[in-house]
Structure 1
Amino acid sequence: MDIQAYFDRIGFSGTARPDLETLTALHRGHLRAIPYENLDVQLGRPMSLDPLDAFDKLVTRRRGGWCYEMNGLLGAVLQDIGFSVTRMSGSVSRDERGDRPLGNHLVLRVELDRPYIADVGFGDGILEPFPLAIGAHRCEGYDFRLEDLDSEWLRFHNHANGGAPYFDFTLAPASPEQLSATCRWLSTSPDSIFVQTALAFRHTPDGIVSLLGRAHRRIRPDGKQTILLNSAEEFVAVLERDFDLDAPEAAALWPAICAKHEELFGAEARS
């Protein structure tokens, strides 16, 4: 893996050391440069858990990715630098969906003077790594919270204007078999939100931009504004302008996005 190419991709120009300063700079740079997106799932392309495949896609081809790719790549880079990294299994919407979401999120634990959580794969989540400490965590004006649910599970609460409101995770190392099975389900099942519609998120200097189907949203600590896109051309233009994604083939997704939008998001996507 060409670490310098990754540094160039995210605009990191410092000296990489296994310390909090480097971890924070890489985390912020990654989220500012590389969007979260699921266009390959939408287009029916095979998905991979291999960090080298993520490097080719996110760095060489300058695309974005979802949690397995975003955190998979960051975790591999951190290990190459000399960080101690544990990949942990997360579960988005575990209360609502039972066991089906187990392993639908990949989370990184990084050992420094104390454990930190690094997560560049939660879309509109936290911009910086945060200590593995129960309680409130504030970053860039957004308020987050880590809750101890029981002897096994912790819950990360997203900020008030976020998309997914929370994910649960355990501190045990993730099972590669579980991650692989859930990745396969998420990328192929008609019941998966990633199969049902297009999603994209990107952190910017003045907030967060997102796409939920037709809904183009600008999110700030004090609120959010939503505009409904009205054409395939507008959809492709927003992908390029706001997410730095050159993906003209995504225009073919537009009819299905429109057909599914109200069912998935309803009034919530217009607020």
Structure 2
Amino acid sequence: MDIDAYLDRLGVARPAAPDLATLRHLQERHLAAVPFENLSSHLGEPVVLDEEALFGKIVHRRRGGFCYELNGLFAALLRALGYDASLHAAQVFRPDGTLGPPLDHAAIVVSLDSADWLVDVGFGRFARHPLDLSAVEAQRDPDGEFLVLDAPHGDLDVLLDGKPQYRLERRPRPLADFVPMAWWQTTSPESHFTRSLTCSRLTSQGRVTLSGGKLIETVDGVRNEIRLATPEAIRAAYRVYFGMTLTRLPVPPGESPLTDDVPQPDTALT
């Protein structure tokens, strides 16, 4: 891995040591620099879960991705920097409180300073900083209050502001274990990734999200939403807010293309 190129993508210098303070900084910078997005599902692009392909997409092409991609590559960076980092599967809680399928989500666990820390840069709105998996009290984070509870079979439930987010496995898994579910998530009409279009990242004052032609900015807890009416405006939003220059636009489900451009691969912002 080209560590320096990845760190440049995050806007950070090479750290002196793999300590907790550095891990906190890397996680927050990743959330701010690399968007959570599912554009590939709506551009007809395959999602390839291997380090070389993910590095090309996220670092060289300056794109984002979803959990398997973002946490898969970030875990590899952490290992390259000297951290004991592993991928772990999770089941996401649905709004009705039931659990989604196994391997529905991939998160990172870092063993550091005699503790295990949950690191997640691929879940949209979530903790900005590592969460201590052994903590019995609620943990305050800039994005809310997190609580880790014991679950059946040795798993752990992670709650945000009292609402269950996902159930985390304690056993580590290789990235390859997530390939079948990643394929289902990006191709099945039953997947919420094929039924919705999103590109979202953390900002210094909140969050910015682009869904089709709808741009949503949350600043100090105040939500502002505007409708972008032209392909040019949407392309400009991807470029300005997410650092991506797209030669064609992803098409939200149920909508007609906004442009007659001949499909081409997207290119990096230079």
Inter-partner Cα distance in structure 2 for 1:92 and 1:220:
27
- In structure 2, the partner of 1:183 is 182
Do structure 1's residue 109 and structure 2's residue 97 form an aligned pair? no
* Structure 2 counterparts to residues 19-58 of structure 1, below 5 A: 19-58=19-58
User: Is the Cα contact below 8 Å between 2:196 and 2:252 reproduced in 1?
Assistant: no
Give the residue type in structure 1 aligned to 2:159: H
- In structure 1, the partner of 2:4 is 4
User: Is the Cα contact below 8 Å between 2:93 and 2:100 reproduced in 1?
Assistant: no
* Structure 2 counterparts to residues 46-195 of structure 1, below 5 A: 46-93=46-93, 96=96, 101-113=101-113, 114-132=115-133, 133-140=135-142, 142-158=144-160, 166-174=165-173, 178-195=177-194
User: Is the Cα contact below 8 Å between 2:110 and 2:116 reproduced in 1?
Assistant: yes
Shift of the 125–100 alpha-carbon distance from structure 1 to 2, 3 Å rule, reads: closer
Matched position secondary structure for 2:154: coil
Inter-partner Cα distance in structure 2 for 1:213 and 1:233:
12
Cα deviations across residues 181-201 of structure 1 (Å, max 9, x unaligned)? 111100110111111221111
Give the residue type in structure 2 aligned to 1:40: S
Question: Displacement of 1:49 after TM fit?
Answer: 1.5
- In structure 2, the partner of 1:264 is none
Question: Displacement of 1:96 after TM fit?
Answer: 4.8
Unaligned runs of 5+ in 1: 260-271
Give the residue type in structure 2 aligned to 1:117: L
Question: Displacement of 1:125 after TM fit?
Answer: 1.3
Cα deviations across residues 126-185 of structure 1 (Å, max 9, x unaligned)? 11112112442222253333233334332223459xxx9712211111365641111110
- In structure 2, the partner of 1:201 is 200
Matched position secondary structure for 2:245: coil
Question: Displacement of 1:231 after TM fit?
Answer: 4.2
Inter-partner Cα distance in structure 2 for 1:41 and 1:16:
38
Give the residue type in structure 1 aligned to 2:68: Y
- Normalised by the size of structure 2, how large is the TM-score? 0.83
Question: Displacement of 1:257 after TM fit?
Answer: 4.8
Shift of the 71–182 alpha-carbon distance from structure 1 to 2, 3 Å rule, reads: same
Q: Which moved more, 1:230-239 or 1:189-198?
A: 230-239
Inter-partner Cα distance in structure 1 for 2:73 and 2:194:
22
- Normalised by the size of structure 1, how large is the TM-score? 0.83
Inter-partner Cα distance in structure 1 for 2:159 and 2:211:
20
Inter-partner Cα distance in structure 1 for 2:143 and 2:224:
17
Unaligned runs of 5+ in 2: 258-270
Q: Which moved more, 1:25-34 or 1:150-159?
A: 150-159
User: Is the Cα contact below 8 Å between 1:52 and 1:73 reproduced in 2?
Assistant: no
- In structure 1, the partner of 2:254 is 256
Inter-partner Cα distance in structure 1 for 2:25 and 2:225:
30
Matched position secondary structure for 1:202: strand
- In structure 2, the partner of 1:269 is none
Percent of pairs with identical residues: 33
- In structure 2, the partner of 1:262 is none
Give the residue type in structure 1 aligned to 2:34: I
Inter-partner Cα distance in structure 2 for 1:66 and 1:117:
17
Give the residue type in structure 1 aligned to 2:17: R
CA RMSD of aligned residues (A): 2.7
User: Is the Cα contact below 8 Å between 2:93 and 2:99 reproduced in 1?
Assistant: no
Matched position secondary structure for 1:120: coil
Shift of the 257–211 alpha-carbon distance from structure 1 to 2, 3 Å rule, reads: farther
Number of aligned residues: 255
Shift of the 89–151 alpha-carbon distance from structure 1 to 2, 3 Å rule, reads: same
